[in-house]
A and B are shown apart, each in its own frame.
Chain A
Amino acid sequence: MKRSLFVVAPVLFAAAMTSLAGCGGTSSPSSSETTGSVPKSTVSSSGGSQLTGAGATFPYPVYSKWFDAYHQKHPELQVNYQSIGSGGGIQQLKARTVDFGASDAPLSDKEAAEMPAAVVHLPTVAGAVALTYNLPNVTGKLRLTPEAVAAIFLGNAKKWNDPLIASANAGVSLPDTAIAVAHRSDGSGTSYIFTNYLAAVSPEWKQKVGAGKSVDWPVGLGGKGNEGVAGVVKQTPGGIGYVELAYAIQNKLQYALVKNSSGTFIEPSVASTTAAAKGAGNALKKDVRTAIVNAPGADAYPISGFTYLLLYKEQPDATKGKQMLELFEWAIHDGQTMAADLYYAPLPKEVVALNESMLASIQSAGQPLLPSQAKQGAGSQP
């Protein structure tokens, strides 16, 4: 009797945990539809269907909000998005282990050729890459010139009171401490946007390091995901890193004003990101992968970028494909209002129109998945 206790106990314990998990929990609609769900193409024991997406951490705040809100509206569909970095999104889409990928770095021609089938890029929002730093004794926002930013990340400017930084911040007493640079340790679309900016403003960076999702950083500590970089900056006095604006604001981190191509020091914000994205409609029509770093315009924030959802043009599973398209339709229309609350810039009108025509071109077994909408000519896809 006693000996069987230690066999029974863990079983009871596991059963208790599972039943605790099964009942209770007001925010889990899945428990309310245990029986009799309409059979969907995905045989799922949880009673509904689930889409799996993975990729960029850049838009994770707004995506997690979107997928949660969409799930409240359509309880039978769960959208499980894992933020593993843009490189991960591309890689897992390539391996077809996820239904859709997300990346701030569009596929290069070489990468597109390596994908098993044609991939559609769907811009969803535009975001600002903020330069966030941790200087507890410095009040107000630092002003950084492109030269200063490049010097910091190249390792040429090693201390905070370096003349390149100090010259633009007259009146601010900068400490004589070392700069702790933080960058991404994983393949990152945010890195792609940021290194593209650096390559555009610094010939030395362009020659020494180049642009890409993973580069050979001259200096700095590595963090995993936007979360990891923000975490490093938050934990390290004297730290500076590049993160999507939402991460800086949500964690009350300081972030800098950056001098744009017109010479104005601009703060990253919904307004300045929208300004950067404003004129991009026509350029994106020609090639949806056009970058918007260093965008012209006095109000434009120079380190901005679109972020994309990636999916196959030819969907293997018609039901899943349709679910995805409906989700993305919702995201590029209704979801845009939530974007601004989370400090992302909504899509300009022309880009929304572009997206609609791209969605209409998605097919499964030769048939378009969405009811046909009279839109002329899908934009150019790689």
Chain B
Amino acid sequence: MSALETSPERIAAAPRRFTGIGDTLFLRITQLFALVVLGVVILTVCTTAFKAMPAVRAFGFRFFTSTTWDPVADKFGAWPFLWGTIYSSLIGLVLAVPVGVATAIFLAELAPRQLRGPVSFLIELLAAVPSVVYGLWGVLVMVPWLRDNVEAPLSTRFGSVPIFAGAPFGVSVLAAGVILAIMILPIVTAVTRDVIAAVPREQREASFGLGSTRWEAIWNAVVPFGRVGIFGGIVLALGRAIGETMAVTMVIGNRPEASVSLLNPAYSLAAVLANEFSEATGALHQAALQEITLVLFGLTFLVNGLARWLVWSVTRKAGGRR
């Protein structure tokens, strides 16, 4: 922290010369606008909860365990969407975390100085591409490739294993997982790179002093030191994956059925909202969708909260501000 930066303490210690109405207005107006943010969040929770009440009353806890989504019979259960959301996000993590952490190690420890900037820039560019563009590329390019080069061989050779059961249609929970992996990779990489870069030099030097190779120093001394922060980055990436809508709905197959097979189509909480929200005609159908909105909000709230707490506990230890 540079000596020129202003810490909260110094600002707070600045003389509070409230010269009359100007300063009071300033305080109140800016406070009002700041409170709008709080108001928006409260409003979101309240309206969704209110609109979801009919479904909550009708289904209770069964909403989360029932697998039926039947608008004709007015029976709604969200388990297939919960399953699809979690399963596709987990696949995304399994694919993105090793690559992301390894890339971060590359950026923080191994890359020559000139490469560091451009490669970092390119990874960050991944985060700037909109979800719908990933979906476009996914449905027109990646899914056919995945179907012919990954799913078909898996199905022919290992089709009897439950996790590879089902016909290889291309659109599947696997396809969604791959797209999610691409989209959350920048988060994992950026956070891990920052965490590794913040590890004190002494850790590496001590390790080298003991005669370790470069890799041993990184893997045994540096990475474990920052594991909480890295884990926080992973959880942050999970939060992002859970809420992804467009790219997922374009490649996941939109089938409300929970299955362990990677090759089977699935559905996610956000995808069902995108497909059904504007045209659900029954009152209970609408309430069920509002309840799904609330569940989605709650899920991302919990996951992001966990991530924030992990990152906070790391920065607190390292003596950072905030």
Chain B: residues with CB nearer than 8 A to chain A?
68-73, 139-140, 143-144, 147, 167, 169-171, 249, 253-255, 265, 267, 275-276, 278-281, 283, 285
Contacts and interface: CB of A to CB of B under 8 A. Distances in A.
A221 B280 contact: no
Given A223-B254, A232-B171, A235-B170, A216 B279 contact: no
Nearest to B276: A186
Contacts of B69: 216
A212 B139 CA distance: 29
Contact of A187 (B73, B147, B276): B276
A187 B167 contact: no
Contacts of B70: 215-216
A215 B140 CA distance: 28
B176 to A, nearest CB: 13
Interface in A138-180: 177-178, 180
15 contacts: A84-B279, A89-B279, A178-B167, A180-B169, A187-B276, A213-B281, A214-B276, A215-B71, A222-B253, A222-B254, A224-B275, A231-B139, A232-B171, A236-B169, A236-B171
Nearest to B167: A178
A88 to B, nearest CB: 3
A90 B171 CA distance: 30
A92 B265 contact: no
Contacts of A84: 278-279
A94 interface: yes
A90 B255 CA distance: 24
Contacts of A78: none
A187 B170 contact: no
B72 A187 contact: no
A89 B281 CA distance: 9
- Chain A, interface size category, equals 35 or more
Contacts of A212: 71-72
Contacts of A186: 275-276, 279
A91 B139 contact: no
A185 B171 contact: no
B265 A91 contact: no
Given A221-B255, A222-B255, A187 B280 contact: yes
B73 A216 contact: yes
A239 B265 CA distance: 14
Contacts of A211: 72
A59 interface: no
Interface string A115-137: 00000000000000000000000
Contact of B71 (A214, A220, A236, A239): A214
A48 interface: no
Contacts of B167: 177-178, 180, 238
B68 A216 contact: yes
A234 to B, nearest CB: 11
B72 A185 contact: no
A91 B283 CA distance: 10
A213 to B, nearest CB: 7
A221 B263 CA distance: 12
Contacts of B71: 187, 212-216
Contacts of A236: 147, 169-171
Contacts of B253: 221-222
Contacts of B265: 221-222
A85 interface: yes
A222 to B, nearest CB: 3
B255 A111 contact: no
A232 B255 CA distance: 13
Interface in A213-254: 213-217, 220-224, 231-232, 235-236, 238-239
A345 B265 CA distance: 36
A159 to B, nearest CB: 9
Nearest to A88: B279
Which among A92, A94, A212, A221 has the highest number of chain B CB atoms within 10 Å?
A221
Interface string A63-96: 0000000000000000000001111111110100
A152 B277 CA distance: 28
A90 B281 contact: yes
A186 B279 CA distance: 7
Contacts of B169: 178, 180, 221, 236, 238-239
Nearest to A218: B257
Contacts of B147: 236
A88 B280 CA distance: 7
A88 B276 CA distance: 9
A221 B254 contact: yes
A210 interface: yes
A371 B143 CA distance: 57
Contact of A222 (B275, B278, B281): B275
Contacts of B255: 217, 220-222
Nearest to B172: A221
A357 B207 CA distance: 91
B280 A185 contact: no
Nearest to B166: A178
Contacts of A90: 279, 281
